[in-house]
């Protein structure tokens, strides 16, 4: 066995929002490193397509479960089906998210609550459902997909940023409360990533010249997945209760550049 072990052999992973973008990349990477995976999203067609791609490319099992995680009964049904088909959930990736694009001056209560319900409560509730199984094995991994928008403020995404700040601190709180049960909990805070949802913003910053980060480009989904593999695997066994920014240096970008 190598001294740094990224293997996920024998593990079962559940990735919400797993049909596209970052979720799809994480599910595929987990399968490439040996895990059986379950993916969940609302769109059945995209789910089935991704599930078949993962199985054909890696040979691992991939269970596709359509679900609207803003509904508690569907969260319970998702957990129940994954346990029945994969025998449990060793690794939980809470990636499903919704973002109401509106300034705080005009956002409605319904829009704000819908964002928090999916981005924070659904993630916590799903982790609560997984907890008894983790206690029994004295082992479990939670990876919550937050955002660098949960660390800094940007125009028009106040509700989204608030929800991502909340899931970040919830990740730390889970680590504090559940670490004694063998559960490791961390959050990944990506910057702007080339996904279908983010395409308008990607095009805007391409025209701008990517002045907002130090690498002058956006992330590709597989670059976020790499961090997820680290955190899920034995290689990340001492990563616990942390928020990991993967954003090309955006958080720490200089306010001006020198011609060196």
Report, as residue numbers or ranges, the catalytic residues.
Answer: 160
What single string gives the DSSP state of each residue in 172-194?
HHHHHHHGGGTEEEEEEEE-SB-
CB atoms inside a 10 Å sphere around CB 166: 19
The tokens 């608030």 sit on which residue? 162
- Beta pairing partners, 185: 142
Q: Which helix (H) or strand (E) holds 118?
A: none
Helices 109-116 and 158-178: crossing angle in degrees, nearest 10, is: 30
Q: What does DSSP assign to residue 157?
A: B
Residue 28's closest CA among 228, 212, 177, 194?
A: 228
- The burial class, CB within 10 Å (0-12 / 13-18 / 19+), for 83 is middle
CA distance 162 to 191: 15
Residue 11: which of 69, 72, 93, 117 has the closest Cα? 93
Tokens 């595929």 identify what position? 28
């Amino acid at each position: 066995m190598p001294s740094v072990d990224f293997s996920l052999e024998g593990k079962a992973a559940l990735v919400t929002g797993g049909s596209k973008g970052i979720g799809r990349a994480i599910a595929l990477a987990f399968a490439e490193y040996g895990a059986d995976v379950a993916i969940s999203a609302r769109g059945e067609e995209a789910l089935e397509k991704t599930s078949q791609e993962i199985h054909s490319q890696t040979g691992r099992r991939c269970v596709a479960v359509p679900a609207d995680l803003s509904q508690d009964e569907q969260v319970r049904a998702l957990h129940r089906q994954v346990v029945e088909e994969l025998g449990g959930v060793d690794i939980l990736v809470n990636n499903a998210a919704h973002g109401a694009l509106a300034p705080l001056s005009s956002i409605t209560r319904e829009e704000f609550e819908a964002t928090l319900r999916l981005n924070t409560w659904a993630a916590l509730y799903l982790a609560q459902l997984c907890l008894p199984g983790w206690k029994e094995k004295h082992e479990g991994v939670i990876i919550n997909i937050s955002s660098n928008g949960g660390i800094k403020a940007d125009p028009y995404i106040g509700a989204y940023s608030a929800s991502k700040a909340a899931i970040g601190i919830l990740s730390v709180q889970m680590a504090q409360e559940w670490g004694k049960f063998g559960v490791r909990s961390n959050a990944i805070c990506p910057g702007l990533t080339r996904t279908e949802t983010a395409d308008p913003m990607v095009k805007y910053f391409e025209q701008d010249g990517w002045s907002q980060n130090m690498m002058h480009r956006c992330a590709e989904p597989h670059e976020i997945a790499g961090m997820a593999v680290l955190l899920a695997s034995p290689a990340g066994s001492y990563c616990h209760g942390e928020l990991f920014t993967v954003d090309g240096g955006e958080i720490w970008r200089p306010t001006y550049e020198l011609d060196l």
